[in-house]
Amino acid sequence: MTKIVKPNEPIVEHIYTADPSAHVFEGKLYIYPSHDLEHDEPSNDNGDQYKMEDYHVLSIENFNSPCVDHGEVLHVRDVPWASRQMWAPDCAYKNNQYYLYFPARDHDGIFRIGVATSTSPSGPFKPEENYIPGSYSIDPAVFVDDDGKAYIYFGGLWGGQLEKWQTGTFVADAEGPAATNPALGPIVAELNDDMLTFKDKPQEISIIDENGNPLLAGDEDRRFFEAAWIHKYNGDYYLSYSTGSTHFIVYAVGKSPTGPFVYKGKILEPVMGWTNHHSIVQFEDKWYLFYHDSSLSGGVDHKRSVKFTELTHNEDGTIQTIDPYPN
Ligand code: FUB
């Protein structure tokens, strides 16, 4: 019998899934996850264990229904510019089309961000010939604002190569900033109406503390690492992201989609497995956090499963911190 989805449990168990980007399209929840491959190779800080080759789309009609796997919607073999590692994707709707944004290494081993299109939220998706010109690093997240303008957020440290782009070109042996210097922020670019190209040169987002000072690279509990996501609540823009080495999902709030954003607090405590990656979505009158952990595989970093739970904004706009293992 097909299982009804339940909070804090894997939404599917027949494949490993991670990095869920959840959206409401056509009245249903659609989830665009990474599809973790089963293998027994060791983990390293470069993320070589994340060898994903394709994407599946998942959907949930409501929270009394099972999760549907719409099958493979894009494979790396069909993407002319990509060679390997189809990491965390996202999807956006505009111009009566669905746009799947995904990072992968190009044929020189450099992470770039590509787009594939479909007339259906469940795919299949047809990739563009080349990656988005001027794109780099990983973890694209696309936010379409109420005025119709679309913004793409991206970037991730270490295996995600963000620190290698500090000069504007790829420097293979570049390290991140010293601990006492400002941390690297995620990158944002407004998209053109075609949703396939950047309108302007991507710019780094500033994340500051309550005194207006930039978060420092050594502030590992709060500084950006990867997995940027934007949601809008009561007119404010909430940038949430993973702190990587300290494994939190945290958030910062701003008055504009491009920042600056003021650090506010934690959304999710560490989960089982090294990575923490999420999305936040309103469905009907409630807000939900989609996230992943490695509990189904007994803690294997690269064999993860997507889960969800309810998320609560307090009256003052702050978000209640979620314990992923409440019982
Ligand atoms: O799934 C591969 C990578 O792991 C993602 O791109 C990161 O955000 C982390 O979850």
User: What's the pLDDT at 327?
Assistant: 76
Q: Choose the residue to mutate in 15, 17, 50 for probing ligand 1, maximizing ligand atoms within 8 Å of C-beta.
A: 50
Question: What is the 147 CA–ligand 1 centroid distance (Å)?
Answer: 30
Whether 139 lines ligand 1, by a CB cut-off of 6 Å, is yes
Residue 308 CA to residue 23 CA, distance in Å, equals 13
Q: Which of 239, 244, 229 is nearest to 162 (CA)?
A: 244
Question: What is the 272 CA–ligand 1 centroid distance (Å)?
Answer: 14
User: What's the pLDDT at 171?
Assistant: 98
Let me know if 297 is exposed, middle or buried by CB neighbors in 10 A (0-12, 13-18, 19+): middle
Q: Choose the residue to mutate in 16, 19, 111, 307 for probing ligand 1, maximizing ligand atoms within 8 Å of C-beta.
A: 19
DSSP strand pairing (261-268 vs 207-208)? parallel
Give DSSP secondary structure letters for 26-53: TTEEEEEEEEEPP--PPP-TT-TT----
Instruction: Output the CA angle 295-238-261, nearest 5 degrees.
Output: 120
User: What's the pLDDT at 134?
Assistant: 98
Q: How many other C-beta atoms lie within 10 A of the C-beta of residue 4? A: 13
User: What's the pLDDT at 2?
Assistant: 75
* Residue owning the nearest CA to atom 9 of ligand 1: 275
DSSP strand pairing (279-283 vs 286-293)? antiparallel
Beta strands in 286-325 (DSSP E): 286-293, 305-311
User: What's the pLDDT at 30?
Assistant: 98
User: What's the pLDDT at 60?
Assistant: 98
Which ligand 1 atom lies nearest to the CA of residue 19?
A: 10
Q: Flag residues of the chain having pLDDT under 70.
A: 1
Which ligand 1 atom lies nearest to the CA of residue 302?
A: 1
**ipTM score of complex:** 0.98
What is the three-class DSSP state of 164? Answer: helix
Question: What is the 214 CA–ligand 1 centroid distance (Å)?
Answer: 25
Which ligand 1 atom lies nearest to the CA of residue 292?
A: 10
